[in-house]
Amino acid sequence: MAARYEQWAESRLYRAYTAECARVCTENTAALGGGKLMPVSYEDLLLRKAPQQDKRTGDEIAAEIIKRAELKVVRKDNGCI
């Protein structure tokens, strides 16, 4: 039983290590491109820690995307996009 636990623990440590390496690589890439960082780590997922919920409305999210992408919004007569 102890050998099985050690194997499980080693496997979990390896998965956590590789996930953290992948997270750091993607965060570095996101920082170069102006993207956002991951809100939760692999360990947090294992421990069931929930990420912060976005409290913005759909219109607020759309407005941020339009602003960040520097898009020009063309509206029809009824005011819809």
Q: What is the pLDDT of residues 21-78, one digit of tens each?
A: 888 888 888 777 777 776 777 777 777 766 667 888 999 999 999 998 988 888 776 6
Which is more confidently placed, 14 or 54?
Answer: 14
- 53 Cβ contact partners less than 8 Å away, ≥ 6 residues apart: none
Question: Is the pTM above the cut of 0.85?
Answer: no
pLDDT at 76: 72
Asked if residues 71 and 60 have their Cβ atoms less than 8 Å apart, the reply is no
Please compute Rg for the chain using Cα positions.
20
